[in-house]
Amino acid sequence: MNVFLPFFCGYLAAVIGVIPPGLINLTAAKVSLVDGKKRAMVFVLGVLLIIFFQTYISVIFAQYIDRHNEVVILLREIGLVIFIALTVYFLKFAKKPNSSNNEHAVVKSKRSRFFVGMFVSAINFFPIPYYVLISMTMASYSVFAFEPVPEYSFVLGVVLGSTTVFYLYVAFFNKMKSKADFFINNMNKMIGTITGIVAVVTLINLVKEYF
């Protein structure tokens, strides 16, 4: 099994998943502006520790699901309902996010940035289903196997991809702020479009499964 492909896919998946402005990366940027880059990177280290465990747990879940086809079908059915609901919510009902609200996300204690990073990352459950989906998709295309070496290669790729994006936020947030504001102002439409596409793909897969 190629070790590079799981690493590359993990790296790319992390960049795509982390680059939109969110609580973690905007908090890292805020820490950098208030306390400096060194403390911001300490915060990021705490985040990365949790991401490592979340990704590894995701691979374990994906391995179990992959071995039980009935679970895959059930999850697709549940996922279809969830993605349709999310699409309707984000396109019709969700309020526009305000980038200024993220300024209050930083805990003021300068001595616990590492633990603050762990906490902020731990309350973000999105990575687990996201990397479950990514690893299962890779396995379906035979670019990933549920074996120790490819698994750790994938996890390492995710961690390094996340590190890259967080560092860019920490180091260049002021220059990126106009782009960040654009993403934030259009976040609901972007998320709604993505979940809508995923819902369509999920529906197609379910139709193929039954017919």
How many whole angstroms separate alpha carbon 96 and alpha carbon 52?
Answer: 31
Helices 37-66 and 69-88, axial angle in degrees (round to 10): 130
Average pLDDT, the chain: 79
Predicted confidence (pLDDT) per residue in 66-78, tens digit: 777 676 677 667 7
* Confidence (pTM): 0.69
